[in-house]
Every structure is written in structure tokens, then in C-alpha cells.
Amino acid sequence: MPYAWAPLQFFAVDGMRRYGYSEEADRLSINFGSMVLKTFLNTGEVWEKYDGVQRDETVKLKYGYPTNEIGFGWTNAVFTRFYDQLSDVGKEHLLRLDGIPIPSDLV
């Protein structure tokens, strides 16, 4: 299951930015942020874990505790950090709620 867990998204984006991969960091920030926002608008909640493929909170947990927690602080903080780091154009992409596809040459 491709979990999208906020702390791991944060470390990935932070590392990309430190090594000059700003475009990739923005894409990951937009995709994670738009998924969190879209799910919040659909459920009224911010969740701990997300399904990175389905882009929602319906994860099938196999490891750790058996529930997907609501109102998780990491997710709130990472969403805010990612949003604040984006340009105005990046923020517009995030607010469209559909994310940005991975370029075909990277798949």
C-alpha cells in the first residue's frame, strides 16, 4: 500500500529542496497538499495517513496500530509548511485539488 504519511513527505520535500530539486519538491508538496485538502473538504477531517494512489484516507493498515487517526498534528503542520513554501502558481495548483502528474520520462 502506498501510504502518504506526512513526516515522510516532509523529509522527502526538505531533502529535495536542499539538493536543488525545487520542481520535484513543489510537485510532491502540491500532490500531498491537494490530497489532504480534497479529503478534508470531503470528510471534514485531517487524517494521519492517506492512500497515495487513490488520494484519500481509506488506507488498509497492515502495520502499526489498526486505525487511521483523525486530526493528526503532523499532517496539519506539514500541509501548512508545504503551502507556505509554494509560489502563487504552486498554491493555485494545490487548490485545484487534482495534483500534478509525474512526467512520463520519470515513470
The tens place of each residue's pLDDT in the chain, 107 residues long, gives 578 999 999 999 999 999 999 999 999 999 999 999 999 999 999 999 999 989 999 988 877 778 888 988 899 999 999 999 999 999 999 999 888 777 777 65
d(CA 95, CA 25): 17
* Residue 47 and residue 68 in contact, taking contact as beta carbons nearer than 8 Å: yes
16: which 3 cell numbers? Answer: 529535495
Instruction: Output the pLDDT for position 72.
Output: 80
Distances (CA, A) of 35 to 20, 27, 79: 24, 12, 10
* Residue 99 and residue 36 in contact, taking contact as beta carbons nearer than 8 Å: no
d(CA 31, CA 29): 6
Phi and psi at 5, nearest 5°, equal -110, 130
Residues β-bridged to residue 50: 4
